[in-house]
Amino acid sequence: MAQAGDYRILHEADLRDYLAGVPDLNALLGGDPAVWPITEVGDGNLNLVFIVKGAKGGVAVKQALPYVRLVGESWPLPLSRAHYEFLALSRQAELAPGLVPALLHHNEALALTVMELLEPHIIMRKGMVAATQYPGFVDDITTFMARTPFFTSDLARSAAEKKQGIAAFAGNHALCKITEDLIFTDPYRVAEQNRWTAPYLDALAAELRDNMELHVAVSRLKLKFMASPEALLHGDLHTGSIMVTERQMRVIDPEFAFYGPMGFDIGAVLANLLMAYFASAGHERAPGDRQAFEGWVLETVEKVWAEFARKFLDLWRAGATGDAYPASLFAGETGAARLEAERQAYMQRLFADAVGFAAAKTIRRIFGLAHNIDFELIEDSKKRAICEARAVRLARAMMLETAAFRTVADVTGTARKLRDWMPELSD
């Protein structure tokens, strides 16, 4: 764990000296440290991120601040999150090789991690605002989505190993609390940090505060988030935590990692793709000029679930070495058939969880503290509100009538119908 006494925020000059003083990093960067360009590029909500380039190579440096960057020193946040991020990255690198940035160096006391520089990768969310399609995305993200939870779950681990994993991440509760407050609570009550596209969404915001069916539904999701440690989650798996080229993908920033319900990460991916879909109309320069992109997004939503489910089931069929559903209870043909039916039921339950969590992830991005550039970059606020209202209508249905969404086609079908729906806006 970081020790408060040793911590200091590394500004550019400090950081240069520090990196130059670590032989492996100095060698990797190469050339004269005095002329390494160092750029602060952090556009997330929490940390400092630097890109450092040397004569031979480059690195990305992430340092946790003792507060929430988006808000400032008034909102302290423990440095230990850098420890959990490092731990999660290490596990993810083992379980889903090549799908997270390579770790080069970690300093617990400084809450600092040095990783490979991902070039020419960009944040996927930015690419989607520009209507870029990523043909390699589905295969990579579903490998990550299937392997990291499966291999940390009761399906693959002994109960003892699983409990050790849960305990190892139990201290990351301050980061979980951010999710608990900002996703599962604040959008549904008066909270200073809430904001939305006013005045157009005022009536919708009021409904979120007043509809007790939504409050029950989101409270059930919150309880599931807090008390269902099914597997090691990324914890913040949106398109801003994914870096892409057209062929490659890397998942970054797992500082929210903890043992939680698998559906939370799955829902995050689905929700952020769906938000990109609904935002797309707001980025049109001519009617229909993003049609191919939008078709690709919905197809991607469908394939993400289908490929995730296929890969997860394949892992389960091939490597169920955990204490859940012991092989000895499902011997023979009858046993195999009954277990396969149970696997399908398990996936159906997981899909329902993902639908509910996707709804919560969508609503928080439109009414809570942290918004998405998908919507935020739509300058015309009325146009933005229309896009957001469509996303909210889908999310509301997914939260209140979760069971009605039996398949991912039910989700994309509803999304498609809402593409040109004109909401009534407040004024």
- Residue 221's nearest CA partner among 22, 87, 354, 326 is 354
Among 20, 102, 122, 226, binds a second copy (CB under 8 A): 226
Q: How many residues belong to the site for a second copy (CB under 8 A)?
A: 43
Q: Give, as ranges, the residues between 305 and 334 that touch a second copy (CB under 8 A).
A: 323-326, 328-330, 334
Smallest gap from Cβ 75 to a second copy, in A, equals: 16
Among 33, 101, 149, 229, binds a second copy (CB under 8 A): 229
Q: Give, as ranges, the residues between 278 and 297 that touch a second copy (CB under 8 A).
A: none
- Give the Cα separation of 63 and 50 in Å (integer): 9
Q: Count Cβ neighbours within 10 Å for each residue of 211-231 and write b for 16 or more, e otherwise.
A: beebeebbeebbebbbeebbb
Does residue 87 touch a second copy according to CB under 8 A?
no
Q: Give, as ranges, the residues between 111 and 170 that touch a second copy (CB under 8 A).
A: 154, 159-160, 162-164, 166-167, 170
Please say which residue, 20 or 324, places its beta carbon nearer to a second copy.
Answer: 324
User: Residue 312 corresponds to which tokens in the numbers above?
Assistant: 């997860």
- Give the Cα separation of 65 and 77 in Å (integer): 8
- Residue 121's nearest CA partner among 246, 245, 250, 253 is 245
CA angle 128, 134, 138 (to 5 degrees): 110
- Give the Cα separation of 275 and 209 in Å (integer): 22
Show Cβ contacts of residue 74 under 8 Å, excluding neighbours closer than 6 positions: 67
Backbone angles phi, psi at 399, to 5 degrees: -80, -40
Question: Per-residue x/- marks for a second copy, 184-213, CB under 8 A?
Answer: -x--xx----------------------xx
Does residue 218 touch a second copy according to CB under 8 A?
yes
Smallest gap from Cβ 345 to a second copy, in A, equals: 9
User: Residue 335 corresponds to which tokens in the numbers above?
Assistant: 């046993």
Number of Cβ within 10 Å of residue 40's Cβ equals 13
Smallest gap from Cβ 151 to a second copy, in A, equals: 15
Does residue 105 touch a second copy according to CB under 8 A?
no
Among 219, 291, 321, 407, binds a second copy (CB under 8 A): 219
Point out which span in 49-57, 131-139, 175-183, 286-294 binds a second copy (CB under 8 A): 175-183
- Give the Cα separation of 372 and 268 in Å (integer): 13
Does residue 1 touch a second copy according to CB under 8 A?
no
Point out which span in 107-115, 215-223, 299-307, 419-427 binds a second copy (CB under 8 A): 215-223
Where do contacts with a second copy occur on this chain (CB under 8 A)? Answer: 154, 159-160, 162-164, 166-167, 170-171, 173-174, 176-177, 180, 185, 188-189, 212-213, 215-216, 218-219, 222-223, 226-230, 323-326, 328-330, 334-335, 338-339, 342
